[in-house]
Amino acid sequence: MSEENLMKEIVSLLKRRGFVYPSSEIYGGFGASYDYGPLGIEMANNIKNLWRTDVIRAHSQVVETDGAIILNPRTWEASGHLGSGFADSLVECQKCHHRFKEEEVEDRRCPDCGGTTTEPRSYNLMMKTFIGPLESTQNQAYLRPETCQSIFLDFRLVADSMRLKLPFGIAQIGKSFRNEINPKNFLYRQREFEQMEMEWFTVESETDKWFEYWKERRLKWYLDLGLNKENLRLFEVPKSEMAHYARRVVDVEYKFPFGWHEIEGIHNRGDFDLSNHSQHSGRELNYSDNDHPEAFYPHVIETSAGVGRLMLAFICDAYQKVSGGRGEQSQRSEEVVMQLSSRLAPIEVAVLPLMKKPELTNKAKEIFEQLKFSFRIQYDETGSIGRRYRRQDEIGTPLAVTIDYDSLEQNDVTVRDRISMKQTRIAIEKLPLVLRQFLNESQFNES
């Protein structure tokens, strides 16, 4: 199957199954924005919480903040985003008027229609807005293009109020906005997207050590969550392609159906941000303690990833087509199964009465009640049992609990495992314990 068709299939599955919808679809969509549906939000929350666990909770010296999206516009002068640092070079086809980044075009030939493109012009990627009723330049502000700047502005507030000692980290998850010229590839490049960033502050002499630490740690996180080793690599970004603030950049890249692309950046930002904000604001964002009596600007190692990009990578990696079907009363010649890690899957356990008969559905609802606060759970009684297994396979649910007539007499149920398709009879009273055990074992097999 062509890469384009594979992406079309994935996009269509995610829409049909309630993961991701085009935003404002009834008006024809808008500006490469997407809405998460009920299953998408579960999965996005899983990604964010797994990141929190690994980056924040696993490190006693990392704390989380949640800064404003619209900061004092002087922030963006100091950070370099208002200058040439955050501009793309834009060209436009003189025939079809499609616009591209300069780097996407060869010999001034439009990639869409072959027309001649204009000379490149510089274009700032920050989204503008106005604060208050007057739409004048003095009232102009910007939606943040990265989440980390409020971390730098609040550096002293966080360090002092939490009594943090170097080295330490400040993390943040939140929306960022970029007026991308040519957004494409679905969740990969959006204009409004969520980032998970962590700024690790340290002394300059230890930046190389910490860069290695965070790079390896982040790579391991992806592998532990089941991403295929062959589809992951690290890319040392050459100096000429680094962002204006960076001293060293390594990208974690994933092999999407549309090619190898960055999913996360590990950056050495030096003391660029703290020193520039100190200069521009007149407030010293420096650090001292007993071991460092002379105040200085700590250096920063940053990890920066996008929730949507990661979701797309995890889904592309897990998407499998089984020709001839998976059996179990299937009528289709080809079936889709999403082999997602149980920690990422929107639903952990599906509760399925064998048939829609009151004696079975009542029992199934009892089980739903018993499990609902311990697992991400879905109750489904519509359609044949084979079809319902297929639906759960498509959304990556690791376990299904089926209630049949024997359940009524023996007080037990069948637990079906998505990967092996093995079915095991389990006593209802032991169900919470056994389900947790099965989920843990499937995690163990992943890493």
Judged by the rule CB under 6 A, the positions of this chain that interact with ligand ATP are: 146, 178, 180, 189-190, 193, 195, 262-265, 304-306, 308-309
Q: How far is the CB of 184 from ligand ATP (least distance, A)?
A: 10
For residues 262 and 394, which CB has a smaller minimum distance to ligand ATP in the complex?
262
In the bound state with ligand ATP, the residue whose beta carbon lies nearer, of 216 and 406, is 216
Give which of 210, 332, 313 is closest to 266, Cα–Cα.
Answer: 210
Interatomic CA distance for residues 79 and 96, integer angstroms: 36
Give DSSP secondary structure letters for 262-316. Answer: EEEEEEEEETHHHHHHHHHHSS---B--SS--S-BPPEEEEEEEEHHHHHHHHHH
> Least separation, in Å, of the C-beta of 118 and ligand ATP?
22
**Least CB distance to ligand ATP at residue 23 (A):** 13
- Is residue 400 within 8 Å of residue 416, measured between CB atoms? yes
**Residue whose C-alpha is closest to residue 62's, from 149, 203, 202, 171:** 171
The answer for residues whose C-beta is within 8 angstroms of residue 177's C-beta and 6 or more apart is 69, 126, 127, 143, 144, 145, 191, 192, 193
Q: Cα(444)–Cα(437) distance, rounded to whole angstroms?
A: 10
**Residue number with CB closer to ligand ATP (199 or 264):** 264
**Cα-based distances in Å from 258 to 11, 111, 133:** 13, 16, 44
- For ligand ATP, give the closer residue by CB, 217 or 436: 217
Give the rounded distance of the alpha carbon of 343 from its chain centre: 14
CB of 269 to ligand ATP, least distance (A): 11
Within 8 A by CB and 6+ apart from 22, the residues are: 15, 29, 33, 34, 35
Is residue 379 a contact partner of residue 367, using CB atoms and an 8 Å limit? no
Residue 247 CB, shortest distance to ligand ATP, in Å, is: 14
Smallest distance from ligand ATP to CB 70, Å: 19
We find the least distance from the C-beta atom of residue 357 to ligand ATP, in angstroms, to be: 47
Residue nearest to ligand ATP (CB): 306
Token representation of residue 424: 């095991």
Nearest to 390 by CA among 334, 312, 446: 334
Least distance in angstroms from the C-beta of 252 to ligand ATP: 8
Which C-beta is closer to ligand ATP: that of 75 or that of 304? Answer: 304
Whichever of 250 and 385 has its CB closer to ligand ATP, that residue is 250
